[in-house]
Structure 1
C-alpha cells in the first residue's frame, strides 16, 4: 500500500517569549473591539451583510479569560510540532498554539510558501490577548483573532479519503459553545495541502458562527482575487465600497502601496470560483482556493507608514521581512456572524499550494484571468469539489493515535448534555482541575467551596450553567460565580445583588469588591468604584498567601485597574499607595511604566514622566489600535513621536488615507 502522507512528531526550537499566566479577573467590561462600523454605513451595505453585521456581535469574552501575562524576553524554547509530508509538500503544524501551520514548503523547489516567523512573540491581537504572527491560522468564534490562538488543540491521526492518513485538529470553541475540526492531508503526488473544516451546532437553537482562515505571506507580492470591487475597512471604523485594483489613484493590490493598515474584502461575484493568490514579480507564490461555502476573500495590509513598520518589527525581530495576510471566510466581511441552525453543521474544503504564472504586473482583468486559468490547469475546480465529496464521509472517522491534547471544556459540555459527536471525541480523561467544580455541580446540585484561599476559578456563563447556579445553595463561591454569569447575561442588577450577598460571609472579599467596582464604573458611579477598588486592593494584599504566579498576576491586574480608577477621580495619593504595594517586577513591566508616567503627570511631575519615556519601555500587551502611548507622550511634552513608540494604524486629524 502506498502511504500518501506521513505524519511525524518534531520539535521546533525558536526564540520564544513565555505566554505567561492568564489574567485571573473575569472580563466584565464590554469589548473594545476595533472591528465595528458606524451605523450610517449599514445603509450602503448589501442587505445580507447588514443583517449579519447585526447578528449577535460579541459583547463579552466570558467564559474565556484575558491572556496578558506574556513579555518580550525571548530565549530558545522547544515547541512541539507535527509534520505532514508527501513527495511534494511539507507542512509544519503547532498543535499547542492553535493548530497553526507555521510552515508550508514546496519540496521540489525548496520554497517556503508562507511568511514563516522566525520567532514566537505573543502580542495583543487575539480577542483575549495573546496572538502571534505568521503561517496559517484558524479563526473561529467572533470577529477578530480566535481566543485559541495560543491554546492547545486536540490532535490525532485519522484515515484519509485516499487510504492514507490525515491530521485532525479539534476543540470546543467556548465563546459560542461550538465544536469544530480541521482535517489536513496531502494526496499522493499533490502540490496542494487539502484542509477539510467542519463546525457543528449541537444545540437546540441557532448559534451565530464565524470563520476566517488567515494566511500570512511576504508583503512584496501582488494580491490577486477574482473581483473588481472590495469593501475597505480601516481603523477609522468606516466600511465603504472601493474599486479594485486602483483606489484614490493607487494600486492597492500591492501591499506596500498603502500607508496605513487596512482590510480589503473582495466582492467575488456569485458563481465565480473562490480563490486568492499572492505572487511575486516573477509570478511565483501561493494560491488558496475552496469550495463555495467559504465565500469571502480578504487582503490585510500593514502599510508602509511608520506605525505599520513598527508593528511589523514588534511581531518579529529587526531584519525580518514584512508580511501581509490573505484570508478566506464564511461571510463577505469579518464584521459578520452567520447563523448556524439548530442541530446542524457547516463544512467546506480548502486547498493551499504553489502557483507559477506569467509576471502579474499589468492590466487587472488580464492578470486575474491568466492566474485563474493557471489555477484551473493545476487544480481544476471540479477536483476541489470531488475532494470535498470524498472527504465528507471521513469527517466522522474516529481518531486513531492521539498526538496532542487540548482542553477539558468540551468534555465537560459533552458529559453534561450527552451529545454524540462522531469524529471529535471529548473524553472524560481530558477533564482537569479547572473543570472539577463544574463537574460536581450537576452531580450534587452544589458548587464546592474552594479548599484553600486563592484567586477564584473560572466561571461558566452558558444558560444551563446559570440555571444550575441559581438553584444551588447560596454559598459565597456560588454567589460570586452566579453574579458573573448574570452579568454576562445582561442582568446587572441581579449580578450586583448576588455579589453583595456573598460579600457578607465570603472568606475572600477582594474578588467580590472588584466585581462591584466594575459595576459601579459601568453605572457611572466613579467615586464609589474608586472606594471599592481601594478596598479590594487592600484586601488582596492582606489575603494573598505567597508571591507565586497566580497571586502575582492577581495583584498586577487588580492594581492596574485600581490605579486607573483612582486617577480617574483625582485621588492621586491613593493611586500612589497602590503603586508602592505592587511587586517590583510588576512595576518594571512596560504597561506599568506607562501607567507610572500617567501617575507622575497626575502628581504634577511632568519632567519625571518624560524621563520614563526617555529611559524607554515596551508595552508588551499594547492593543491593536491603542493610541494611549501617543496621548501620554503629548502630555509629557510632545513633539514628534519617537519611532519606538509609534504604533499608529490610522492617519491623524486632517490627514487623508493614502
Structure 2
C-alpha cells in the first residue's frame, strides 16, 4: 500500500562541534576568495563566459559577519530535522543549517544516495567561514559556499502541485539582497525528489545572481555527464579547457584518479538534456537532472595527494570514507555571475533520485546508456511538466511554520512595502540584530546603546547608507555610516566619518580598529600598528566580563593587532597583546600558530618548533591556506608532518597531476 507523502519533525544526533560566536568586527578587508583567474586567462574563453566572469565579482563580505568561533571538540548533539518521505524515498533536511539535505535514502534498495557525513564539523570553506561537508547544499550569493551554510532558514508546509505536502525553505540572501525559496516534494510513488527553486530581484536595479546546488557523493564512483569537454580549475588559479573523460592519459571521471584537488566544469552542449550522475562499481548511484535554466554541471575532486586527503579527514572522521561533489549551476562555471533584471525572477526545477546503468566502457556509449536509463525512469518531458505544475504553487502562502530563519527579510519588506507571495517575511521574526535598524527606519535616528557592548551588525546597502547620512551625527551612527561608505568604495569619506565618531565617543576601540584597517589598506603600516595597539588597549579597559561577546571581540581584535605589529617588527608590543588575551583564547589552534610565529620572531627557533611538536589544530584554517607550511619551512628544513599538510596546489607532490 502506497504511503502518502508526509513531512514530519525529527532529530538527528551526531558528534558535533559548537558553532560558537560570530566575529563581531565588520569584515573590512578585501574578500579572500581563491576562485579567481587572471585577465589573460579570459582571452581564450567564450565571450559570454568571459563577460559573466567579469560581472559583479564580490569584493566584500559586508554586511555579513565572519563565523570563526567554532572549534574541533565534538560531543553528541541533537540537530533538528525535517523529514519528507513517501513509500520510495526519505529526505532529511536540516533547516537550522542552511536547509541542507543531509540524507536521501532509497527505501526499495536500502541505499543512501548521498555522502552522509557522520559528524558535524565546521571548517573555513564558506565565504564567511563556517561550512560543513555532506549532503545537498544550496549555494546562493557569490562564487563560493554560501554565507547561509550554517544559518537557519524559514521553513513551512505548503500544498504541493499534486495536492500533497511540500516543504518550503526560504530566506533573504544578504550579500546580494535577494530573497529565494527552495520547494521540496515527493509525488506519491515517485523515486525522485523534486526541488523547485526561485530567486527574486524585487529592486529597481539589476542584480548579479549565483546559484550552485552542491551534491556530496562517495568518491569511489565514476561521474557521468553529457559532455566531451570541460573547463578545469585548480588551486593554481588557472581555467583551461580539457577533453572529457581523459587528459594526460588519465580518465578524470574517476575521482580517485586525480592527485590534486580540482574542479571540472562540463561543457554540456546546447539542446542536450542537463544531468549528472555518480555511479558505484556496480553501476548504482545518484542522478541529478533539471530544466534547462540550470545550465552548468561540475565535478569537484579532492584527489589522492597528501593535502586533499588531509582535508577529507579534517571534515569528517578518519577512516569513514571520502567524498567528491557533483554540482549544478546557473552558469557554466562557478567563476561567473548571471544578471537578473530589475523586478524579475529566475526559477527552475531539479530532480534527484537513483540511477542504475553501465559505467564502464567507451565514454560516448556509457553516457548514451546512462541517459537512456534516465529517460526510462524520468523522461525529460516529465520534468518539464512537473516544473509547469509547480510554478503556480510557488506563490502559495505557506501553512504551518516548521522553522524560523533571520529577521533581515522582514526588515527589508518593512522598508520597501514589497509583497513577496509565497515567502512571507513576518514582522514577528525581527530580533535584537534588527531592532536599531528598525528604529532608524521609523524615526530617522540610530539609537546609542544603553550599556557598553560590542557593536551590533552593520547594514551597507545604498538605502541604509542614505538613512545613516540623514540621521543625527552620533558616535554609533557615524561608525555604521563609515562602514557603509567603506563598502561603497568611498574610503576617504569613511575615514572622516570614523574620525568624527572618535571625537564624539567615549568608546574608541572599534573606531580605532576601522582606522587601522584603512591605514593598512593604504600601506601606512606603522600608523596602522599604532592604532591597533591603542584599540586593543582600549578594548581591554572597556570590556566588562569574560562572556562570549567580549571574548570573541578580544580574540578577533587581538589577532589583527598581533598580525599588524609583527608585520612592522614590533615583536615586544605584539607579545604584550598576546599576554592580555584570555587564556582559553591563547590555547586555540589559531593562536598557537601565532605563538610559534612570535617565538620565531623573538629568535627562539627551538621553542617555536616545540609548539609544532606539542601539536595544535587551527580550526578555522582557510581553504587553500598555506600558512602552516610556510611557517614550518622557516623553522626547519624537515618535511612538513602529514597532519599539518593542508596544501592543495600542485608542486607539493612529486606524482603527476
Question: What interval of TM-score do these two structures reach, taking the shorter chain for normalisation?
Answer: over 0.9
SS of the residue 1:597 aligns to: helix
SS at match of 2:367: helix
Shift of residue 319, structure 1, vs aligned partner = 1.2
Whether 2:408 is the aligned partner of 1:391: answer: no
Equivalent position of 1:618 in the other structure: 617
Inter-partner Cα distance in structure 2 for 1:202 and 1:655: 52
Q: What is the CA deviation profile of residues 610-645 of structure 1, one whole-angstrom value per residue up to 9, with x for unaligned ones?
A: 000000000000000000000000011131111100
Give deviations 1:233-276, integer Å, cap 9, x for gaps: 00000000000000111000000000010000000000000000
Cα distance in structure 2, aligned partners of 1:416 and 1:566: 43
Q: Does 1:243 align with 2:243?
A: yes
SS at match of 2:513: helix
Residues 331-342 of structure 1: pairs in structure 2 closer than 5 A: 331-342=331-342
* Paired residue secondary structure (1:633): helix
Distance in 2, Cα, partners of 1:356 & 1:302? 25
Q: Distance in 2 between matches of 1:133 and 1:382?
A: 33
Structure 2 CA distance for aligned equivalents of residues 557 and 444 of structure 1: 33
**1:505: how far off?**
1.7
Deviation, 1:4, is 3.6
Secondary structure, aligned partner of 1:494: helix
Q: Does residue 511 of structure 2 align to residue 507 of structure 1?
A: no
Instruction: Give the match's secondary structure for 1:41.
Output: helix
8 Å CA contact retained: 2:294, 2:348: yes
Q: Alignment partner of 1:72: what SS?
A: coil
Query: 1:636-655 deviations in whole A, cap 9, x for unaligned?
Result: 11311111001111122796
Aligned-partner Cα distance in 1 for 2:95–2:133: 15
| Superimposed CA distance per residue, residues 52-92 of structure 1 (whole angstroms, 9 cap, x where no aligned partner) | 00110000000000000000000000000000010000000
**Cross-structure match for 1:280:** 280
Spell out, residue by residue over 1:140-162, the C-alpha distance to the aligned partner (whole angstroms, 9 max, x if none): 00000000000000000000000
- Structure 1 CA distance for aligned equivalents of residues 232 and 655 of structure 2: 15
Gap change, CA 1:654 and 1:617, over 3 Å in 2: closer
- The answer to whether structure 1 residue 106 and structure 2 residue 106 are counterparts is yes
Whether the aligned pair in 2 keeps the contact of 1:651 and 1:657 (CA below 8 Å) is no
Give the CA RMSD over aligned residues.
1.0
Residues 436 and 3 (structure 1), Cα distance of their counterparts in 2 relative to 1, 3 Å cut: farther
Contact 2:3 2:87 in 1 (8 A): no
Aligned to 1:225: 225
Distance 2:191 2:515 in 1: 57
Q: Deviations over 1:475-519 (max 9, x none)?
A: 000000000000000000000000000001212100000000000
Equivalence for 1:571: 570
Equivalent-residue separation in structure 2 for 1:55 and 1:389 (angstroms): 31
Check conservation: 1:4, 1:186, Cα contact below 8 A.
Answer: no
**Alignment partner, residue 354 of structure 1:** 354
2:637 equivalent in structure 1 = 638
> Is the 1:159–1:166 contact (alpha carbons within 8 Å) kept by the matching residues of 2?
yes
How far, CA to CA, are the matches of 2:497 and 2:619 in structure 1?
Answer: 35
Alignment match, 1:6: 6
Residue in 2 that maps onto 1:174: 174
Q: 2:134 maps to which residue?
A: 134
Task: Tell me the TM-score normalised to structure 1 length.
Answer: 0.99
Output the CA distance in 2 between the equivalents of 1:169 and 1:451.
36
Point out where structure 1 has 5 or more consecutive residues left out of the alignment: none
Q: Hey, what does 1:71 align to over in structure 2?
A: 71
Question: Which residue of the partner structure matches residue 265 of structure 2?
Answer: 265
CA deviations on 1:139-195 (whole Å, 9 max, x unpaired) are 000000000000000000000000101000000000000000000000010000000
2:518 alignment partner in structure 1: 519
**Alignment partners' CA distance in 2, 1:48 and 1:270:** 14
Tell me what 1:446 maps to: 445
More deviation, 647-656/480-489: 647-656
Superimposed CA distance per residue, residues 436-494 of structure 1 (whole angstroms, 9 cap, x where no aligned partner): 00001021110010111000111100000000000110000000000000000000000
CA contact (8 A) 1:3 1:164 kept: no
Q: Which residue of 2 aligns with 1:320?
A: 320
In structure 2, C-alpha distance between the alignment counterparts of 1:114 and 1:241, rounded to whole Å: 29
Could you tell me which residue of structure 2 aligns to residue 370 of structure 1? 369
Matches of residues 450-469 of structure 1 in structure 2 within 5 Å? 450-469=449-468
SS of 2:384 mapped into structure 1: helix
Q: Distance in 2 between matches of 1:425 and 1:485?
A: 27
CA distance in 1, matches of 2:652, 2:110: 47
Secondary structure (helix, strand or coil) at the match of 1:121 reads coil
Q: Which residue of 1 aligns with 2:559?
A: 560
SS in 1 for 2:578: helix
What is the alpha-carbon distance in structure 1 between the residues aligned to residue 494 and residue 656 of structure 2? 44
- 8 Å CA contact 2:259–2:655 kept in 1: the answer is no
SS of corresponding position for 1:44: coil
User: Partners in 2 of 1:61 and 1:482 — Cα distance?
Assistant: 16
Quote the offset at 1:303 in angstroms: 0.2
Q: Deviations over 1:376-427 (max 9, x none)?
A: 0000000000000000000000000000000000000000100000000000
Give, in whole Å, the separation in 2 of the partners of 1:287 and 1:451.
55
Change (3 A) 1:3 1:412: farther
Q: Distance in 2 between matches of 1:507 and 1:9?
A: 49
**C-alpha separation in 1, matches of 2:314 and 2:365:** 38
Q: Distance in 2 between matches of 1:331 and 1:531?
A: 46
Pair 1:431 & 2:424 matched:
no
Q: Structure 2 matches for 1:475-624, cutoff 5 A?
A: 475-624=474-623
SS at match of 2:619: coil
Match of 1:84 in 2: 84
CA distance in 1: counterparts of 2:637 and 2:371, whole angstroms: 51
- Matches of 1:197 and 1:495 in 2, distance apart? 38
SS in structure 2 opposite 1:137? strand
Q: Which residue of 2 aligns with 1:46?
A: 46
2-side partners of 1:67 and 1:306: how far apart? 27
Runs of 4+ in 1 over 3 A off after TM superposition: 1-4, 653-657
Q: Tell me which moved more, 643-652 or 182-191.
A: 643-652
Q: Report how far residue 657 of structure 1 moved.
A: 5.7
- SS of the equivalent of 1:26 reads coil
Please tell me whether the aligned partners of residues 261 and 648 of structure 2 are also in contact (alpha carbons under 8 angstroms): yes
Distance 1:256 1:47 in 2: 33
Instruction: Report if the CA contact (8 A) 2:558-2:577 is conserved.
Output: yes
Q: Which residue number corresponds to residue 37 of structure 1?
A: 37
1:472 aligns with 2:471: yes
Looking at structure 2, the residues matched to 452 and 399 of structure 1 have their Cα atoms a distance apart, in angstroms, of: 39
Distance 2:585 2:275 in 1: 47
Shift of 1:3: 6.8
